[in-house]
Amino acid sequence: MITTAHRANDWENSAAARADLARRRANELKVRRAQLAKGVAASPQTVEQARRRAEESRERALNAHRAAAERHLQAGQAHRLAAAIHEQTAMRAEDTDAEVHQDAAEHHRAQAVLHEAAAVIDLEQAAG
């Protein structure tokens, strides 16, 4: 069973891995800038490495958009569930409380729509 703690740990590991990759890439670029400053011309190897790094970066960006879209859809589902719970509560509540719950349900439905729209945008970005 995957718990919230496991997901948080996975995210931290993933964030740590991304940070490490970024540090290594920054060091590569620093070395390459120093080479260029010394007049070292581009070689087929450095051109190929730059092409590979650009493609890797593009893939990471596309994966990030896909992951963001998934999280937006999950948030939208959570808001729709919260709206349903507020509506159920409103049906059982006194008149004054019912209005508060109906307002909360409307708020959650509106938030769900916003998250779903954000997911569409992220999926469009992920399509390249």
Does the structure show a pLDDT above 70 at 10?
no
Does the structure show a pLDDT above 90 at 112?
yes
**What's the pLDDT score for residue 97?**
86
Range of the domain at 116: 66-128
**What's the pLDDT score for residue 1?**
45
**What's the pLDDT score for residue 96?**
76
The structure tokens listed for 8 are: 């948080």
**What's the pLDDT score for residue 15?**
82
**Is residue 53 assigned to a domain?**
no
Does the structure show a pLDDT above 90 at 93?
no
**Is residue 21 assigned to a domain?**
no
Rg from Cα positions in the chain: 24
Contacts 24+ apart (CB under 8 A), 70-76: 70/119, 72/115, 72/116, 72/118, 72/119, 72/122, 73/115, 73/116, 73/119, 75/111, 75/112, 75/115, 76/111, 76/112, 76/113, 76/115, 76/116, 76/119
- Cα 75 to Cα 110: distance, rounded to the nearest angstrom: 12
pLDDT in tens, 36-63: 999 999 999 999 999 999 999 999 899 8
Give the number of domains in the chain. Answer: 1
- Cα 9 to Cα 75: distance, rounded to the nearest angstrom: 20
**Is residue 49 assigned to a domain?**
no
**Is residue 115 assigned to a domain?**
yes
